[in-house]
Structure 1
Amino acid sequence: MATTAAAATDPAPTTAVAAEPSAFSREVRRRRALRRMSQLELATLAGTTQRHLSFIESGRSVPGRAMVVRLAESLGLSLRERNSLLLAAGYAPAYAESPRDGASVEPAMTALRSILTGHLPYPAVVAGTRGELVLANAAFDVLTEGAAAHLLAPPVNVLRLALHPEGMAPRVVNLASWGRHIVESLRVRATAHPDPELDALIVELSGHLPAMAPPGPDHLGFAVPLRLRCAEGELRLLTTLTSFATAVDVTLAELHLEAFLPADAATCDLLRRREEGRTGGTPPGAPAVRAG
């Protein structure tokens, strides 16, 4: 009798009642699953124990701000995603998101304009994560040649411009292979950093692509060049991407500079002639064009 009474009055163990996982807990678990990481792997990277992480994911433990930041970093989240995770945990965002014309990012934007100008006579653009055009140099006109007006009206999306039937697509000789490369790169990004708007754009762009062709002689062995017809002939271009690796501002972290390089001597000569025609034979130095 005494034993029964004691059992009835003893407090229940804390593990007897499962806490309801919060939005934060569910998001940590979802992000970990996307990256196919075990709890032990994530806990080790974040400098905590597997038990603690298990409690966080189940909602039985509320982490401090520093732990949330460490988890976000260990999951490889973008700055925007890190801010979202902090908000879900009840904390203020850690990273500013400055306007593109704000004073705090002006030195970086000035540097980008200088790079764009210095890249002449070859085309180069600065775009956001979903292809929104931010800046372009004067040689960008070789990519917009013949494009429909609605694709060039702000806000311009360089990805849509590239693959739309009324954009660059009719002039791209190897549209199937080059376009597929673009879409697959976007899919990789969308898997690592889920974004409904990017998903919708991928579906749209995929619908513009012809059937996949087997690798042809236009492959260079290490990259798929863009083979683009223009008024003066055919261009063969390679693409390089540059970003601010140590950015702590969301705006800068989401920008990338896409620079096109000639894949052969003929392309180099053709673009130089176009630049001479545009500048009247003066050295390259046309100002970068602001697009949004």
Structure 2
Amino acid sequence: MNTSPPPSTPFKRRPLPWYKRATAAFNAPRGGVPAAPVVPRRIDCGPFTLSFLEPAAAFGEGMGTPDPDEVNLDAGAFTPTEAPNARANHQAIWLGISNWIYHLPRWHSSRIFPVPHPPYAIITTHWQLERVKHDIQLKPDDMAMLEDYLRHDYVAYLESEGGPNWKLRDETYKGKTISGAPLPQYQIDDILAAHLKSPPSSYEPLISNDMHWLRYLWDPMQGMPNTLNYTTVLLPDVLLTVCFHITRMNSEPWEDWWDLFMEDCEILVKTITCQRKELPHAGVAASE
């Protein structure tokens, strides 16, 4: 694994072509990760050390929990994550949390109206270690095996008893009535079609600093992006996932800031490095 620490200076986006630079004030969203100072993080995780850059939070600094400098990977250190945007309710250890904002272009046409202009979007990011479920053992760098695990896990999370889709079906069939009468089947079908959540549809591989990642979009309602995730296998029973949770704050189409968001996320993930520690007595064994 790459042993170099992450850079301590803010990263930069890819340069824009001249014609986009010339019109940036009219159509380029402002803000994002490069607009904030970044904090180099280095976390001792027992058999390895993780390093990454964490942007300073745009608001709510600290987000309520201190960032650890050291964690252990005992099973008891992983806690359930039941937040609405948690990744399939894996037990996890949060390593860091931050947020940033995308704003309207500086000279956006709507600024001629004297009305408040909320952000395009707010992004909340979690860096978290996740415990692999059901005692499954994954192989680091085996992307096909990781993808198979993620696909099956999302289906199980959504469809198993107590899961979001199971609850929706149960409530729809048992609790939805009009004037005391059960809903007709066609209305039940319409409700389910509109509200059943879908698993990620595709997984894209990415290799950075000798770490093999899968990138996948959690788009549960099909057409309303919710969370962009990057996951890699660190140990057979431990994953590292970076979750970029998306909150839209106005009616502007999300496509206006999506390309910028994707670029910022990828650059941020590429600052992550994992330094494996030498096993005890490895040097002695090698010399014998």
Please give the TM-score of this superposition, normalised by the length of structure 1.
0.22
**Greater CA radius of gyration, 1 or 2?**
1
Looking at secondary structure, tell me which structure has more strand per residue.
Answer: 2
- Identify, as 1 or 2, the structure richer in helix: 1
